[in-house]
Amino acid sequence: MNHSYRCWAEVDLMALRENLAWIRHRVGPDVKIMTVVKADAYGHGLKQIAGLLMQSGTDVFGVANLSEAQAIRAVGRGWPVLMLGACLPDEVERAVRDDVMPTISTFAEAKMFSAAAARLKRVVSVHIKVDTGMGRLGVAAAQACELIEAVGRLSGLRLVGLYTHFAAVEDDAAFSREQRLRFNRLLRPLLKAGHAFEYLHANSSGALLLEKATIFNTVRPGLAVYGVVPSAKRRIVSVLKRHLCPALAWKCRVSFVKEVPAGTSLSYGRTFVAPQSMRVATLTAGYGDGYLRAASGRAQVLIGGKICPVVGRITMDQMLVDVSTVKRVRAGDEVVLVGRQGRRGISATQVAEWSGTIPWEVLTAITYRVPRVYLGGHAA
């Protein structure tokens, strides 16, 4: 490891390959995998991860915006890309030019894409999203058939996808069942009438395990590809932990070590006062690197294979930890914020719990100034 790094993230490419292989095994060879690579591939580095996934069995990519789609196109042309967010009116023509599949929720959106297709002499492949309970985008299930028929009559459009999104699949079995029933009630007559969808999808990472009846012909994993398991009320965690390996480890260094007497206050706001004499290390990571300030006073790190609690408020570039139980700590020592050291490990989900948030935010909060170091193969 390059010892010039103060704070860095290591991305294990072999872990990503193995996670994707497990998902392929889970869904079978005939189901397409749409890997979600939003938010810089969940903080892992979009271009590098897209290149790896192209070589490892991904069929299609899911993105949040056109810039992400363009980044994928820069790595490899010809891959299907679905924009999961709605296109703004001034983005419609660009989406058509870049051959990005848009998400359609209204007839007005469909007409804009039809007009752009005519101007550019293109045929646009579109997905219709059905709102079965998420409440963000999508046509209401009761109006979905009408929209599907209307889109089919517009020139320049090819309806290739139909999908929905679970709102609380990891926690709420009853509501997930209601969403599943709403989507299936819509789907059954459409399929009976001869409608065929190249991409029919509902399942995120958690739903791969919990809603097997809605795997259809495409799945949409995100967090599972990166080997991260969220907290969940439904029985999901133990299964995923057995099969998935976290791809990202986040590390920093000790910059300073000192002894402090009892009664010494530490960091901003004097929220922590040493209850007895203790040894404290200053670390080269803070909220400017993406380590959430909300974890102040609750988080833990690994130094010398031992758990060390964060004391006082996390600051922009540094944080303080109690290293009284670690025999030898020196400036330059490696610190694990997320990942393993010796026999112990800290997951992104644990950091999320200390911060009162979710692992998605922990990963995507890691800032641009934290270099990503790729291990276990060549990233694009």
Sign of CA dihedral 104, 109, 110, 115: negative
Region for 229 from its dihedrals, namely left if φ exceeds 0, alpha if ψ lies in -120 to 50, beta otherwise: beta
* Residue 5 vs residues 42, 144, 240, 338, 375: alpha-carbon distances, Å: 21, 52, 32, 16, 16
Of the chain, the end-to-end C-alpha distance in Å amounts to: 20
Which candidate in 5, 32, 38, 199 is catalytic? 38
- Rounded distance between C-alpha atoms, residue 138 and residue 22, angstroms: 30
- Rounded distance between C-alpha atoms, residue 327 and residue 95, angstroms: 58
Which candidate in 233, 241, 258, 268 is catalytic? 268
Residue 268 falls in the annotated catalytic set: yes
Region for 290 from its dihedrals, namely left if φ exceeds 0, alpha if ψ lies in -120 to 50, beta otherwise: left
Residue 121 falls in the annotated catalytic set: no
Question: Residue 47: is it exposed, middle or buried by C-beta count within 10 angstroms (0-12/13-18/19+)?
Answer: middle
46-56 and 13-27 are packed helices; what angle lies between their axes, rounded to 10 degrees? 50
Whose CA is closest to 166, among 153, 179, 149? 179
Active site residues: 38, 268
